[in-house]
A and B are shown apart, each in its own frame.
Chain A
Amino acid sequence: MLPFVVKRLLQTAPILLAVALLIFVLFSVIPGTFASSMSDDGHSVLDTQVMERMNHELGLDDPVQVRFAKYVGQLARLDLGTSFRSRQPVATVLAERMWPTLKLAFTAMVFAILLGVPLGFLAALKPGSLLDTASMVLAISGLSLPQFWLGLLLMYLFALSLGWLPSFGYGDGGFRNLVLPSVALGVAPMALLARTTRAAVLEIMNADFVRTARSKGMSEGRVVRWHLTRNALVIVLTTIGLQFGSVIGQAVVVEKLFSWPGLGSLLVDSVSLRDIPVVQGCILFIVLFFLLINMLVDVLCAVIDPRIKYS
């Protein structure tokens, strides 16, 4: 197993470097290159304010490769620069905002997994039944709901009308404050997990090896427990890993709506204020988190599925 983990780590490193390059191009090369060529044109799509600031703060006069080398060197020392706004090191700002977001994202995923996976499973065991139809209608609706709107409705109903839960804010970081934003954030991945689980179970139910299992004289319950679950788990786990990406992306909107003091609202505020070093830091962190989660998922899948290690 260890060689596999090392292999996956080595595959992750270039992606992270590529993301760093992408961020560098996006925030240093593009504004730097086009600052002079386009700013005479009053209709420039690039924000002139950003470019002036970048020029001023980051010294965009050096050649590109020198700047990239400096940038990577800084990253390697975990030096993410200084926030334009608060003048604090970006790493310090991120460290503060990281936990609320992680808490929110994990709670939302737990909600999505606990509801979505059993729903998809039950739907697949009785295809065409009322439960199946109802849960799939629910799933496609969940996928089509704008999460901030759902959040708004939840806030209106459970906080403002019924008064059961706080309407927004982090509070003491306890469970009551966590409920509404997690549900708003978790409905879409729940819907997707329900659909994926159902499709996976249906596919496996028709697999040849399940027919073999039945021909052994196995009850349906044992077919599910002995042969179906592990096979479906690989697919479900992979989906969970990928869904973490959209959850952390959508957290941006949900955090803003619920005034949740996480990375998402930090990112939105920094984009609004053109606080580029913080924007860079947020994106790097989000990508790192996403890659780590998916690495973990791949390792779990390799434990379950012996074929993965060999391919």
Chain B
Amino acid sequence: MTGDALLTVDRLRIDLAFGGTRYPAVKDVSFTIGAGETLGLVGESGCGKSITALALIGLLRRPLGIGGGRILFKGREIQNLPEAEMRKLRGNRISMIFQEPMTALNPLSPIGRQIAEMFVLHQGATWHEAERRAVDALASVRVPAPDRRVKDYPHQLSGGMRQRVMIAIALACDPDLLLADEPTTALDVTVQAEILELIRERSAAQGTAVLMISHDLGLIANMCARVGVMYAGRLVEQRAAEEVFRSPSHPYTSGLVASLPLLGARARDGQHRLKEIPGVVPAVTAFPAGCRFNPRCQARTEICVEVDPEETPLPHGGLVRCHHHG
């Protein structure tokens, strides 16, 4: 599997340097994404999913830094690439969409120019040519009247329109991998579906693999064939999306699934009471010993407090990190 994977993340560790100590904000995270595949990464805020994405694109900034492990992109180790080499990949082969469409674009620059930058940076286009291609890029994300819209400034666009512009920028150079960090969280519910559909459609058309990051398990299940669940800087479970729903293995995943509001059958059966997971995600500086989920876990036994569980294969495929998986 590793052989033809587009991206292989192997025991990635991200450290937070704080007061002279390095805390593992993300530890031993391993997963792969095949070419054209869509992997979902789900978890509560602060679980390390966003910084994992930033690590993949080489944009971690102090006090965060890669503390160990390997990132292989098309078989090449990129976690230690010199900045100049990394810049050739960034935006070009691996690109990223961020959560905040309101602030992610430069307010003083026309959107056409901000798209055109991609062609100038990575394809050696002249500004004139790049601006012309920006119109096509804008059309490809279905922005109406793209030839006039390119001259608009971000404040003249709605949140959904800005996120379309972000997608146009991210996909401008036909990247192999798109990292989408909560791309619809800040948008109206009605716009969310359109943006997700757009990401799905464009990535399929261009053969781009997607790492979709969200706190919303429902959204992830909808978009992705495979799902990874993160908790407190660890990947606790990764499996096919439908499996996760049908028979969640890790107690945290079970909690997430149980807390989802459901429409249809189960709701009508009267099982509509939502369950919450008691407790909160611990701070990076105060991760517990043993399994990081143990203070909130209802299946906790002595071993959970003492021993950090290893990743174990599940009988029908997938991996789980729990002493009592079942």
Contact = CB atoms under 8 A, between A and B. Distances in A.
Contact of A217 (B88, B105, B108, B109): B88
B294 interface: no
Contacts of B88: 217
B59 interface: yes
Given A231-B106, A231-B107, A304-B108, A218 B155 contact: no
Contact of B105 (A209, A214, A234, A310): A209
Interface in B44-103: 57, 59, 84, 87-92, 95-96, 98, 100, 103
B87 A212 contact: no
Contacts of B155: 306-307, 310
B90 A212 contact: no
Contacts of B98: 208, 211-212, 215
Nearest to A215: B96
B106 A217 contact: no
B103 A209 contact: yes
Given A208-B98, A306-B155, A307-B153, A216 B107 contact: no
B209 interface: no
A304 B57 CA distance: 32
A213 interface: yes
Contacts of B169: 212, 216
A310 B156 CA distance: 10
Interface string B190-234: 000000000000000000000000000000000000000000000
Interface stretch (B19-27, B116-124, B277-285): B116-124
Given A208-B100, A219-B87, A214 B59 contact: yes
A226 interface: yes
Residue of B57, B107, B153 contacting most chain A CB atoms (<10 Å): B107
Contacts of B104: 208-209, 211-212
Contact of B90 (A216, A231, A305): A216
Contacts of A226: 109, 117
A183 to B, nearest CB: 34
A215 B91 contact: yes
B56 to A, nearest CB: 11
Contacts of A219: 84, 87
Contacts of A305: 107-108
A176 interface: no
A240 B92 CA distance: 40
A213 B96 contact: no
Interface in A74-89: none
A207 interface: yes
Contacts of A214: 59, 90
Contact of B59 (A208, A211, A306): A211
Nearest to B105: A209
Given A217-B92, A218-B121, A310-B155, A212 B109 contact: no
A212 B109 CA distance: 13
A215 B117 contact: no
Interface in A202-251: 207-209, 211-219, 222, 226-227, 230-231, 234
Contacts of A208: 98, 100, 103-104
Interface string B157-170: 00000000010010
Given A208-B98, A306-B155, A215 B59 contact: yes
A217 B117 CA distance: 10
A306 B156 CA distance: 10
Given A214-B59, A226-B117, A306-B155, 10 more contacts: A207-B103, A208-B100, A209-B104, A211-B59, A212-B166, A215-B59, A215-B98, A216-B95, A216-B118, A217-B88
19 contacts: A207-B103, A208-B100, A208-B104, A211-B104, A212-B105, A212-B166, A215-B57, A215-B90, A215-B91, A216-B91, A216-B117, A217-B121, A219-B87, A222-B121, A227-B106, A230-B109, A305-B107, A307-B153, A307-B155
